[in-house]
Amino acid sequence: MARKPLISGNWKMNLNHFEAIQNVQKLHYLIHKEVFDDVDVSIHPPFTDIRSIQTLVESEELEFALGAQHCHSEDTGAFTGEVSPAFLAKLNTEYVICGHSERREIFGETDEIVNAKVLAILKHAMTPILCCGETLDEREAGGTEDKVLGQIAAGLAGVSNEQIASMVIAYEPIWAIGTGKTATSEDAQTVCAAIRTKIRDMADDVTADAVRIQYGGSVKAGNAAELMSQPDIDGALVGGASLKPDFVELVRNGAG
């Protein structure tokens, strides 16, 4: 079945809200309107930028979808420094990244924490982008599928088939993030196909055929089209390259 690609720009801890507004305006000017017929684009700025970007996107009727980089699993409580999914929903946030490797590796998020976030995001009618991926040591030891599919099974615990079908899963090999190394399109396809098969086994054919699977890890304009030409890769989760001028070309190439 045809799945519209989703390209997500994760700005990480970059750009204050003034810079973010300028960046979105520039991106929208450079990405021709008809490109959005063939690809969805979500923007994931820092939390302090979200309200400014929401206002810009809605007032100017821009085609970008607003996204967040993560959230807490609880709506309210004594969680200093965290952000509630309920607050993000009030800002018309559409997508929330959860289980990003930096959250797992640097901040110690477990599969159980990630699963709780997935359920919380869905509860507030937003779409989780559930990240999974292996380290270089795990890859070299032949443990890629065990690691990735284990993260998928844990992250989707308690999630209905209908909810899974609406989600986005991002395969982002940790060894490829910010290193300039990228999985070959064939290797990325192999893992993304395994993810889809896992979902088919956990749920059903309809669910597996509907869920969108992104690839993330040193995606750039030069390799976007080849990666997204693979049958089980439905877009890209883009980090540092989403802050560079060639992000526009990356989106165009991803649109085919």
Q: Does an H or E element contain 30, and which?
A: helix 17-30
Beta strands per DSSP E along 93-231 = 95-98, 127-132, 168-171, 212-216
Q: Which of 215, 217, 222, 228 is nearest to 254 (CA)?
A: 228
140 is catalytic: no
CB-based contact 163:120 (threshold 8 Å): no
| CA–CA dist 133, 152 (Å, integer) | 10
Amino acid at 156: L
Please provide the size of the chain in residues: 256
Give φ, ψ of 146 to 5 degrees. -60, -45
Q: What's the half-sphere exposure (Cβ side, CA atoms, 13 Å) at 236?
A: 32
State the Cα–Cα distance between residues 206 and 188, nearest whole angstrom.
Answer: 22
List the catalytic residue out of 44, 70, 100, 138: 100
Active-site annotation holds for 60: no
Which amino acids are annotated catalytic? 100, 172
